[in-house]
Amino acid sequence: MRKSLDMAHHSSEDQCPDNEAGEPLLPETANVVFQRNQTSWHFLLGVFGVGILIVANLIEALIILRIVNNTSTKPSAKYHPDFPMQALTIERNRTWEELSNPSSDSLWNAGLPGITGWVQIEHARDYNLPRGIPSLGKYEVYITTWGHQHHCLKILRREFSSVVRGESLLINSMTNGTKTPNSEASGKLHHLMHCFDYLRQTIACASDLTLEGINKESNDTFFDIDGYGVEHMCKSQNAIGEWLISHAPEEDGYRQNIEL
């Protein structure tokens, strides 16, 4: 029986053509083509990846270049030195608290001796500064933010004193049977409101975060904070004064407190 099965097996093999018995399912060239296609696909993926990296680097370079260009067009602070810092304790001075009068006005108008807040800058374009007031052919004159702030405080103080004394042109023009101020008073009102907003923004810019505690008058049930007796780190007033004096406009008109 075993012999007959073997014979049957050989018989079935003999029936297959010789050229099909030993052949693989796919021709030999198919493996070569597959390997070539696989190599090409890997090459394309590599090229695509390199392309993405190049594009990403170009985009990053453009972003950096744009940031640098935008930064370079902003005003530079190199027109003045880096001023040294000094500790300054805020103390109460009642003379500065007085209403407008010849004595207190002279104190407020003096500010720092010889200083009005105006400065002249040569070659202003080198510092990317905005246009100033032309002066003597080679300078441009600017008002410092410190000078502008001081100016605003002075006119607010002056108007407040006028209101307290009943002498305010603005108040009088609005209480004489009219609901709106006249042109002169309207200009004054605009100026005052400008100063409030200007001081608001410049105070926010400085953002002094010195911590202030309660004063000596406070007790367990009443707390008062007046800011006096607190030490702040400030730019050296002497160094700033020296720089402002050395850059004061040479034209005589700027040596006065010009109205802004």
User: Are both 63 and 129 inside the same structural domain?
Assistant: no
User: Are both 89 and 65 inside the same structural domain?
Assistant: no
Least confident of 26-40, 77-91, 229-243: 26-40
At residue 22, the 3 state secondary structure works out as coil
User: Are both 126 and 30 inside the same structural domain?
Assistant: no
- Number of folded domains that form the chain: 2
User: What DSSP character marks residue 99?
Assistant: P
β partners of residue 233: 87
Please state the rounded mean pLDDT for residues 212-231: 95
Torsion 46-47-51-57 (CA) sign = positive
Confidence of residue 52 (pLDDT cuts 50, 70, 90): confident
Least confident of 34-48, 174-188, 217-231: 34-48
User: Are both 115 and 149 inside the same structural domain?
Assistant: yes
User: Are both 127 and 234 inside the same structural domain?
Assistant: yes
pLDDT tens digits for range 71-111: 444 545 589 999 999 999 999 988 889 999 888 888 887 76
**Between 30 and 246, the higher pLDDT residue:** 246
User: What DSSP character marks residue 231?
Assistant: E
Of 72, 96, 130, which one is at a domain's C-terminal end? Answer: 72
pTM, two decimals, is 0.65
User: Are both 62 and 145 inside the same structural domain?
Assistant: no
The answer to whether position 135 is within a domain reads yes
User: Are both 90 and 63 inside the same structural domain?
Assistant: no
The alpha-carbon radius of gyration of the chain (Å, integer) is 42
The answer to whether position 78 is within a domain reads no
* Cα-based torsion angle of the residue sequence 194, 152, 201, 131 in order, rounded to the nearest 10 degrees: 80
pLDDT surpassing 50 at residue 233: yes
Give the residue ranges of DSSP H helices in the chain. Answer: 2-14, 18-21, 28-72, 94-97, 102-110, 145-164, 169-175, 183-206, 237-246
User: Are both 42 and 127 inside the same structural domain?
Assistant: no
Q: Using alpha carbons only, what angle is made at residue 201 by residues 124 and 231, rounded to the nearest 5 degrees?
A: 95
What is the share, in percent, of the chain residues with pLDDT greater than 90? 44
pLDDT given for residue 257 in this prediction:
47
pLDDT tens digits for range 115-171: 778 999 999 999 999 999 999 988 999 999 999 999 999 999 999 999 999 999 888
Question: Which residues does 198 contact at the CB level (< 8 Å), separation at least 6?
Answer: 148, 149, 152
Please state the rounded mean pLDDT for residues 208-218: 95
Give the residue ranges of DSSP H helices in 209-255. Answer: 237-246
The answer to whether position 96 is within a domain reads yes
Confidence of residue 251 (pLDDT cuts 50, 70, 90): confident
Question: Which residues does 91 contact at the CB level (< 8 Å), separation at least 6?
Answer: 228, 229
User: Are both 17 and 110 inside the same structural domain?
Assistant: no
pLDDT given for residue 198 in this prediction:
98
Question: Which residues does 148 contact at the CB level (< 8 Å), separation at least 6?
Answer: 117, 198, 202, 260
Which tokens is 179 given? 């609901």
User: Are both 13 and 54 inside the same structural domain?
Assistant: yes
Q: Using alpha carbons only, what angle is made at residue 219 by residues 215 and 225, rounded to the nearest 5 degrees?
A: 30
Of 40, 72, 104, which one is at a domain's C-terminal end? Answer: 72
User: Are both 220 and 144 inside the same structural domain?
Assistant: yes
- Domain enclosing residue 58, as ranges: 2-72
